[in-house]
Amino acid sequence: MNLSKITIFQLAKERLAWLSQRQEVLAQNIANADTPKYRARDIEPFKFERVLRNSVTPVNVSRTQAGHLDGRRSSVGVHAEEKTRKPYETAPSGNSVILEEQMAKINETSISHKLTTQLYKKHLGMIRTALGK
């Protein structure tokens, strides 16, 4: 059985890859906390909607009766995406790494990683139960 073809496992795999890459970037930020003119970096947020749109084939909705709704949305949303802020705290050497902020992001990434692996385990357990193993 190839689990990578099941959508929930694909999403978990992509989320774990994103979390690993983010952990690397945050570790580089902390390693360069004393490097002059180093700018803290981060990767763009993991968007479940974008991943889902790329991995799932779209379903075409058709109206079978005139009284039914056609299934189209008028707008996706009214809120704009949040822009990455400029660092408000910079050392005299030009370094913009704030260690407390980086540690908070690492903790957030660690918690997300634990949650994703637990969801993966639970879904794998449900498949095993359904197969009678």
Tokens, residue 77: 């949303």
* Residue written as token pair 């009766």: 65
Residue 125 domain-assigned (yes or no): yes
Range of the domain at 98: 3-55+86-131
With respect to residue 70, please indicate whether it lies within any of the assigned structural domains. no
On whether residue 94 sits in a domain, the answer given is yes
Q: Residue 11's closest CA among 127, 131, 125, 117?
A: 117
Residue 52 has pLDDT above 60, yes or no: yes
Q: How many domains does the chain divide into?
A: 1
Instruction: Note whether residue 60 is domain-resident.
Output: no
Higher confidence at residue 72 or residue 21? Answer: 21
Say what percent of the chain tops pLDDT 90: 26
Name the burial class of residue 26, with classes exposed (0-12), middle (13-18) and buried (19+) by CB atoms within 10 angstroms of its CB. Answer: buried
pLDDT surpassing 50 at residue 77: no
Within-domain flag for 110: yes
Span 59-87, average pLDDT: 56
The whole-number average pLDDT for the span 106-132 is: 93
Question: Which tens digit of pLDDT belongs to each residue from 85-98?
Answer: 566 667 777 788 88
More confident residue, 8 or 83: 8
Residue 62 lies in a domain: no
Q: How confident is the model at residue 64 (pLDDT cuts 50, 70, 90)?
A: confident
In sequence order, what DSSP letters do the residues of 49-92 get, joined into one string?
Answer: HHHHHHHSPPPPP--SSTTS-----S-S-SPPPPPPPPPS---T
**What pTM, to 2 d.p., does this model score?**
0.67
The reply to whether 74 falls in a domain is: no
